[in-house]
């Protein structure tokens, strides 16, 4: 899918393009992990469209195109560091926690030393935000979100949502020597009345933007809490929050946006993810 970052002035003219267009690709099973000669410290990148780089130019191979994986996504940016050169990039746009559990964990192994994970957004309702172009029933959405958040935290059983503490424990079991970095999500919107750099009003109501941002806040709290619970259980995991680094750079915000009109990090946003991960010790 062609990148949709530029020209926020067009928001008010073609609002359907903000959320609409091609839907994220469905999660698919990764290709077999590359086999490297000798002792190799592999880096495995798991997760959804925020890790895959949805909306940015896709890598040319068919599997990457199905998952909308981009060379501009943060795993590829991190892959430039010497200690992270052997990348198994299996994050896939559209992935839920169940997809990660069923389709992505196979990339892990005894030689894996670094794992990044961005997951939970589709389970918690990000995938339903296409309603912003026609009007969302936030009451109905909120009930579904709360149930999903409870399942993500491992507080209630679910047939459709895998618990994050369980996922982290499974990652550690498959990759016992790995250090795991579990990221959060940015708040997608600012609350300014006008779009950055123009005199046009933001086509998304402030109240709706506030609700969507609140979803990210609640989801991040669950992700952070899940990392803490897993760490208390012996999992070598670090929570990496990104919301502060994106502050002021959402859509309809006060500064240059790091979010595309498809509600995903643009190339700058992906670089911000990489920078925050480096600061938290992903490169060693």
Please give the pLDDT value at position 135.
67
Provide the pLDDT for residue 211. Answer: 86
The confidence band for 38, taking pLDDT boundaries of 50, 70 and 90, is very low
Most confident option among 144-158, 197-211, 225-239, 253-267: 225-239
Convert the pLDDT of each residue in 181-199 to its tens digit: 999 999 999 987 667 777 7
- The yes-or-no verdict on residue 240 having pLDDT over 50 is yes
Q: Enter the pTM of the model.
A: 0.86
Contact 27, 92 (CB under 8 A): yes
Axis-axis angle for helices 164-174, 206-232 (nearest 10): 50
Closest CA to 51 of 236, 181, 193, 222: 181
Residues of the chain above pLDDT 90, percent:
60
Residues 248-271: pLDDT tens digits? 999 888 889 999 988 899 999 999
**What number is the average pLDDT over the span 142-148?**
85
| DSSP letter, residue 192 | -
> Which residue, 44, 125, 54, is CA-closest to 79?
44
DSSP class of residue 141? H
Task: Say how far apart CA 201 and CA 77 lie, in whole Å.
Answer: 34
Confidence class of residue 129 from pLDDT cuts 50, 70 and 90?
low
What pLDDT was estimated at residue 269? 98
Our CA angle for 9, 54, 7, nearest 5°, is: 10
Q: Which domains does the chain have, with CATH numbers?
A: 38-279 (3.40.50.1110)
Kindly give, in sequence order, each residue whose CB lies less than 8 Å from that of residue 91, ignoring residues fewer than 6 positions away: 45, 46, 47, 48, 49, 51, 52, 67, 69, 73, 75, 104, 118
| Residue-averaged pLDDT of the chain | 84
b/e sequence 43-62, b meaning 16+ C-beta within 10 Å? bbbbbbbbbbbbbbebbeee
- Choice between 131 and 213, residue whose per-residue pLDDT is larger: 213
Phi and psi at 252, nearest 5°, equal 55, 40
List Cα–Cα distances, 38 to 126, 184, 283, in angstroms: 41, 34, 21
Sign of torsion, CA 274 277 281 283? negative
Q: Is the pLDDT of residue 19 over 60?
A: no
8-state DSSP, 155: S
Among the listed ranges 1-10, 30-39, 60-69, 203-212, which one has the minimum average pLDDT value?
Answer: 1-10
Q: How far apart are CA 109 and CA 16, in angstroms?
A: 43
Three-point CA angle 257, 259, 264, nearest 5°: 175
What pLDDT score was predicted for residue 196? 77
């Amino acid at each position: 899918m062609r990148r949709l970052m530029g020209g926020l002035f067009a928001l008010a003219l073609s609002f359907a393009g903000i959320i609409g267009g091609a839907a994220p690709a469905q999660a698919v099973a990764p290709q077999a992990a590359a086999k490297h000669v000798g002792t190799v410290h592999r880096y495995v990148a798991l997760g959804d469209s925020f890790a895959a780089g949805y909306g940015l130019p896709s890598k040319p191979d068919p599997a990457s195109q199905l998952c909308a994986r981009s060379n501009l996504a943060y795993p590829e940016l991190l892959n430039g560091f010497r200690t992270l050169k052997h990348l198994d990039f299996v994050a896939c746009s559209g992935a839920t926690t169940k997809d990660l559990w069923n389709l992505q964990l196979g990339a892990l192994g005894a030689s894996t030393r670094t794992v990044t994970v961005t997951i939970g957004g589709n389970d918690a309702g990000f995938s339903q935000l296409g309603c912003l172009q026609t009007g969302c029933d936030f009451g109905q959405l909120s009930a579904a979100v709360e149930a999903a958040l409870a399942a993500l935290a491992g507080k209630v059983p679910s047939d459709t949502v895998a618990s994050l503490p369980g996922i982290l424990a499974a990652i550690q079991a498959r990759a016992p020597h790995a250090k795991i970095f579990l990221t959060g999500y940015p708040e997608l919107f600012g609350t300014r009345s006008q779009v950055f750099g123009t005199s046009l009003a933001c086509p998304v109501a402030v109240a709706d933007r506030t609700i969507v941002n609140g979803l990210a806040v609640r989801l991040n709290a669950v992700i952070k809490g899940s990392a803490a619970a897993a760490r208390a259980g012996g999992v070598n995991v670090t929570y990496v929050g990104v919301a502060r680094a994106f502050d002021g750079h959402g859509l309809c915000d006060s500064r240059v946006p790091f979010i595309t009109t498809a509600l995903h990090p643009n190339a700058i946003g992906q670089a911000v993810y990489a920078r925050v991960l480096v600061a938290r010790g992903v490169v060693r």
